[in-house]
Amino acid sequence: GESVGLHLPTLSVQEGDNSIINCAYSNSASDYFIWYKQESGKGPQFIIDIRSNMDKRQGQRVTVLLNKTVKHLSLQIAATQPGDSAVYFCAEIPGSSYKLIFGSGTRLLVRP
């Protein structure tokens, strides 16, 4: 079936270090894989996406890696800042659909 899951519920990092958040997915037919950030009291905010025909995409301080062989998605945040503290969700869009299918989230805590 369609499912997106995460390996760790909470990740604690030192300010300035790099963060890596991982996600496993099961639907090989998805066209897009996406990372969203959700701060307390707010709706999710788009960070970055990657199409299924790519294996790496970089944004500002973020990199998403897609490994289709093992159905694994990761988000790397460089030089993590206090403002990065939030819950991060991976999501996917199944082929021929419009909806986002979210995983259960990883909470990122940034220690000063």
Partner 1 sequence: DTGVSQDPRHKITKRGQNVTFRCDPISEHNRLYWYRQTLGQGPEFLTYFQNEAQLEKSRLLSDRFSAERPKGSFSTLEIQRTEQGDSAMYLCASRSGRTSEAEQFFGPGTRLTVL
Could you tell me the two tokens for 35?
């990372």
According to CB under 8 A, which residues from 21 to 80 bind partner 1? 32, 34, 41-46, 49
Which range of residues in 55-63, 66-74, 75-83, 86-94 is near partner 1 by CB under 8 A? Answer: 86-94
Question: How is the chain classified by DSSP, letter by letter?
Answer: ---EEES-SEEEEETTS-EEEEEEE--TTEEEEEEEEE-TTS--EEEEEEETT-SEEE-SSEEEEEETTTTEEEEEESS--GGG-EEEEEEEEETT----EE---EEEEEE-
Which range of residues in 11-19, 61-69, 72-80, 87-95 is near partner 1 by CB under 8 A? Answer: 87-95
Q: Is 109 in the site for partner 1 (CB under 8 A)?
A: no
Rounded to a whole number of angstroms, the minimum distance from the CB of residue 23 to partner 1 is 11
Which range of residues in 14-22, 60-68, 70-78, 102-110 is near partner 1 by CB under 8 A? Answer: 102-110
Rounded to a whole number of angstroms, the minimum distance from the CB of residue 48 to partner 1 is 9
Residues at the contact surface with partner 1, assessed by CB under 8 A: 4, 32, 34, 41-46, 49, 89, 91, 93, 97-105
